[in-house]
Amino acid sequence: MATKEENLKRLCELAERLGREPDVSGSAADIAQRVAELEEELGDAGEVAEPDTYSPSKDDPTAHKGESVPEQPGIVTGDETGQVTVVALATLHTKCNGSVIFVSPGTSFRVSAEVAASMAAGGLAKRQ
């Protein structure tokens, strides 16, 4: 029988494969039940479900999905809001600390220059 910590890790892995946010609250039995349910769901599907994706409208000014990001190390494009564009290299789950798809790697997104510097220093993103 797996420990609660082992089941939490497995729950996060399964939720990631399904593109979901895991519920990590509850007793060891609750966590074990969720693991069993997700394993059954993955087994029934025969393949991993694709995570839900955001499909921006053509008028969405923040839409960058599918945008090709040129490699230009050291180039930072800023604007009057003080935000810069970065490219996600890795994302981590806030509760499980495991890798998840929140911002898909390679997708451009905007954050403050301070956040961009912190993410770049941590190896989570690179400035564009």
Q: How many whole angstroms separate alpha carbon 72 and alpha carbon 102?
A: 24
More confident residue, 89 or 71: 89
Cβ proximity of 86 and 108 under 8 Å: yes
One-letter identity of residue 106: G
User: What are the Cα distances from residue 51, in Å, to 95, 100, 105, 112?
Assistant: 18, 10, 14, 27
For the chain, which domains are there?
4-45 (no CATH), 83-127 (3.40.5.70)
Token representation of residue 73: 């190390």
Q: Longest C-alpha distance within the chain, in Å?
A: 56
Token representation of residue 20: 């979901």
13-59 pLDDT, tens digit per residue, is 888 888 888 888 899 999 999 999 988 888 754 444 444 444 444 44
Alpha helices (H) along 2-124:
4-18, 28-45, 113-121
What integer pLDDT is reported at residue 124 of this predicted model?
Answer: 81
Quote the percentage of the chain above a pLDDT of 70. Answer: 57
One-letter identity of residue 108: S
